[in-house]
């Protein structure tokens, strides 16, 4: 299943003063059969709060070239979620997460040249509220 999200504003937020930052991390793997991999990206407190993220498993270099699929048909994305620095999911109502993690798996066959990709969307609206 694929999900897409939109970030919407209300009249009480002045978008001229909203700052967004996107962080990307790409790690090699999973490459061998029946193994998993995680990749984690972080929002710093100076950049605002983590509001969303995204993930993929690819053939690599997704920020510099067109998206390419992993070499094998087995690799798949197991999850994409807010987490702590170790990649442990943060549950509903959990403390203010600053990380987004992608969890991928190679499937039952080797997948040389696979990469796990993750994005964290940071939003600073601290100075954007009209008073």
Please report the pLDDT score of residue 67 as a whole number: 72
Question: Could you count the other beta carbons within 10 Å of the beta carbon of residue 108?
Answer: 9
| Better-predicted residue by pLDDT, 122 or 8 | 122
Distances (CA, A) of 123 to 15, 63, 80: 11, 21, 18
Question: Could you count the other beta carbons within 10 Å of the beta carbon of residue 106?
Answer: 24
Taking the C-alpha atoms of residue 28 and residue 39, their distance in angstroms, rounded to an integer, is 9
Please report the pLDDT score of residue 105 as a whole number: 93
Length of the chain: 131
Structure confidence by residue, pLDDT tens digits, 67-102: 777 767 788 999 999 999 999 999 877 777 899 999
Structure confidence by residue, pLDDT tens digits, 12-49: 766 677 788 999 999 999 999 999 999 999 999 889 89
Q: Which band of pLDDT confidence, cut at 50, 70 and 90, is reported for residue 130?
A: very low
Report helix, strand or coil for 22: strand
Instruction: Output the pTM of the full model.
Output: 0.81
For 3, residues 6+ apart whose C-beta sits below 8 A from its C-beta are none
Question: Could you count the other beta carbons within 10 Å of the beta carbon of residue 122?
Answer: 24
Q: Which DSSP category does 89 fall into?
A: B
Q: Which DSSP category does 90 fall into?
A: P
């Amino acid at each position: 299943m694929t999900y897409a999200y939109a970030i919407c504003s209300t009249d009480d937020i002045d978008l001229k003063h909203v700052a967004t930052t996107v962080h990307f991390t790409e790690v090699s793997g999973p490459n061998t059969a029946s193994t998993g991999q995680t990749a984690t990206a972080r929002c710093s407190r100076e950049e605002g709060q983590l509001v969303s993220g995204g993930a993929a498993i690819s053939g690599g270099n997704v920020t510099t070239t067109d998206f390419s699929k992993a070499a094998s048909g087995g690799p798949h994305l197991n999850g994409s979620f807010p987490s702590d620095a170790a990649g442990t999911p943060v549950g509903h109502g959990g403390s203010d997460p600053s990380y987004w993690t992608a969890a991928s798996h190679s499937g039952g066959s080797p997948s040389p040249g696979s990469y796990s990709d993750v994005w964290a969307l940071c939003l600073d609206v601290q100075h954007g509220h009209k008073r």
